[in-house]
Structure 1
Amino acid sequence: MLTVNAYAATSATDPLTPTTIERRDVGPHDVLIEIKYTGICHSDIHHVRSEWGEATYPVVPGHEIAGVVAEVGPEVTAYVAGDRVGVGCMVDSCRECANCRTGREQYCLKGNTLTYGSIGKDGTLTQGGYSTHVVVNDDFVVKIPDAIALEEAAPLLCAGITTYSPLARWGAGPGKKVAVVGLGGLGHVAVKIAHAMGAEVTVLSQSLKKMDDGLRLGADHYHATSDPETFQTLAGAFDLIVNTVSAVLDLDAYLGLLAVDGAMVNVGAPAEPLSLSVFSLIMQGRSYAGSLIGGMGETQEMLDFCGEHGIGAEVEVIRAEKINEAYERVLASDVRYRFVIDVSTLR
């Protein structure tokens, strides 16, 4: 066993504090990763504060992990020491169900093992990337292209694949009009990726205060959803809407922005139920869907795409002792656009 430094939550109300955790010995198919950077995702906050169900404590969050291979098991062939690698939201799945066999491990029918807060096959609680090292099965490790700085790559392991997957599945590309709802941690990456795919991109944000950023990141248009005229002007305009926000929206109003056969896909996860009129769908053949991260093959595809197009997240790198402050700033929307922990400050 390897003892490593980490930051952990010990309850839903107390701040995260420094600690040490044990990492398992490197098995035949395992990769030991020296973590360089870990992104802070809003879901980290939801989890440690037990807002999505009661968490088991202590828990080390972090599922946007970028680092360097330190050691591999004897049966690992895809990675060697020194490789630049990443780990996202999953570290295992059953590998046997229909979804796993088709590369959609995120929808494992037996339930995948999350990077933190899950019970692994060995019966222990998984602990995430707010730590100096992690041991992961090689099937759940991905290579980070040299063209992407590790600190900018870390958020792609969640925000990148979460937005790339629906954009790819619903055919964002030349001749398609895509709207991104929200220009935050997810939305800003969605804009970059949709632009690189060749789509005409519009940002739909509550206000125009981030318009300059949105246009700089690749948006062609930017509209404020607080202005009722937006929904009249853009009625029937889009082939695809990717909703990245976790707030309650007037779904009927947003569905009215879709063209015939258009689709609106939710990747944000509001805690409250949402409602809509079925007529918003059936009268124009529209679809409303959800999407959850992506499988391991698609995650590697996303990273390769981002490497080819020079796409990384817009990040603010922080020291580990600033994690609790960063949480409060995330809740206040005071970040452009993703906090990333410099894990060297944990050592």
Structure 2
Amino acid sequence: MIRAYATKEANGKFEVIEYDPGALKADDVEIEVESCGLCHSDLSLVDDEWGVTQFPIVPGHEVIGRIVETGPAVTHLKTGDRVGVGWFSRSCLTCTPCMSGDHNMCPSVEQIAVGRPGGFGERVRVQASWANRLPDSLDPKKAGPLFCGGITVFNPLVQFGVRPTDKVGVIGIGGLGHLALQFLRAWGCEVTAFTSTGAKADEARRFGAHRVVDSRDKDALKAEAGRYDFILSTVAVPLEWGRYFAALAPRGRLHTVGAVSEPIEVQAFSLIGGQKSLSGSPLGSPATIRQMLDFCERHDIAPQIETMPMSRIDEAFQRLRDGKPRYRIVLENDF
């Protein structure tokens, strides 16, 4: 039996449950959880904002821990390895996307806290392909958020060929945005932070922004017209999208990784005239995650976190609801 924190209803309090994971699958590993980051997606699941939550739910998808058991088909990992796990926990490995290296776009991809237990527990099981060994030089207390927030903003740089010579804007300096600034600065880009919170301006520069633009200032946004090769939106709220399309240079791309619940409105001519694009992407494949970890190791990139014991999970979720974390809460296993 595995103990974990679950809530039995939307917006409910957490309680300790026990569940039987059954026999370990041949290609699975069982991980003793050391810590698990708290992401806004966990809040969306717990509040059933997306209509996919099955209660009771054990959330948590930024796991760091040690492998305590491996299935007989697992050959590349062993007991004692420290690994990280993000949003995805299983893919079929045989479909065209999987065979092309795009496991994250597998039609039957399993999401770790959707219809199965996530990482806010003493142990968690995943397919070994989705457990990435953590480089020794990365701080395991800080590494968890890389497996969701980090790979979410790193993956577009790889998929869309962002170049060191590009001028790139990042909308929203939070759990995702503060990592995007670090990646892009190390990537070699000219980096601009768009933020509605003036108090974050100095922090944005510390994370790597060359420039900071007040996203509430319409004149400031207007002055950015035609500047950017790539704009990455990390926010989950509607924006005046037209202003950001206007800020794109010819062949520029507005890319969203924020789960905006409302349609993104765009006039066809705002795309056609400058051959501009609108796109989105999920988290990355296991191979891209490994690239990200190597890049973080090389450039000393890590999230800014605050830690709490997992037993204070209700308090942690409330802190997230109130928008207080700077910039990621990591819950440490204290079962």
With the shorter chain as reference, the TM-score category is over 0.9
- Work out whether 1:117 is the aligned partner of 2:117: no
Q: Does the Cα contact within 8 Å between 2:245 and 2:270 map onto a contact in 1?
A: yes
1:156-179: CA deviation from partner (whole Å, max 9, x where unpaired)? 111111000112222334211111
Gaps of 5+ in 2: none
Task: Give 1:134 shift.
Answer: 1.3
Task: Give 1:13 shift.
Answer: 3.0
Q: Does the Cα contact within 8 Å between 1:146 and 1:307 map onto a contact in 2?
A: no
Q: Does the Cα contact within 8 Å between 2:59 and 2:117 map onto a contact in 1?
A: yes
Structure 1 match to 2:42:
44
- Work out whether 1:289 is the aligned partner of 2:279: yes
Structure 2 match to 1:280:
270
| Aligned residue identity for 1:199 | C
Calculate the TM-score normalised by the size of structure 2: 0.96
1:143-190: CA deviation from partner (whole Å, max 9, x where unpaired)? 111121112110111111100011222233421111110000111111
Q: Does the Cα contact within 8 Å between 1:24 and 1:135 map onto a contact in 2?
A: no
1:57-103: CA deviation from partner (whole Å, max 9, x where unpaired)? 11100111111112222332211222110111111122222111112
Q: Does the Cα contact within 8 Å between 1:36 and 1:342 map onto a contact in 2?
A: yes
CA spacing shift, 1:336–1:156, aligned 2, 3 Å: same
Distance (whole Å) between structure 1 residues aligned to residue 53 and residue 177 of structure 2: 27
2:232 match: secondary structure:
strand
- Structure 1 stretch displaced more, 302-311 or 187-196: 302-311
Distance (whole Å) between structure 2 residues aligned to residue 322 and residue 307 of structure 1: 31
Q: For residues 147-158 of structure 1, what are the structure 2 equivalents within 5 Å?
A: 147-158=137-148
Calculate the TM-score normalised by the size of structure 1: 0.93
Q: Does the Cα contact within 8 Å between 2:213 and 2:221 map onto a contact in 1?
A: no
Superposition RMSD in Å = 1.4
**Length, aligned pairs only:** 335
Distance (whole Å) between structure 2 residues aligned to residue 134 and residue 24 of structure 1: 12
Gaps of 5+ in 1: 119-125
Distance (whole Å) between structure 2 residues aligned to residue 279 and residue 138 of structure 1: 46
Distance (whole Å) between structure 2 residues aligned to residue 146 and residue 80 of structure 1: 15
Deviating 4+ runs (over 6 angstroms): none
Q: Does the Cα contact within 8 Å between 2:222 and 2:243 map onto a contact in 1?
A: no
Q: Does the Cα contact within 8 Å between 1:36 and 1:66 map onto a contact in 2?
A: yes
- Structure 1 stretch displaced more, 295-304 or 25-34: 25-34
Structure 1 match to 2:75:
77
Structure 2 match to 1:87:
85
| Aligned residue identity for 1:332 | D
Task: Give 1:54 shift.
Answer: 4.7
Distance (whole Å) between structure 2 residues aligned to residue 334 and residue 300 of structure 1: 30
Structure 2 match to 1:188:
178
Q: Does the Cα contact within 8 Å between 1:192 and 1:217 map onto a contact in 2?
A: yes
2:193 match: secondary structure:
strand
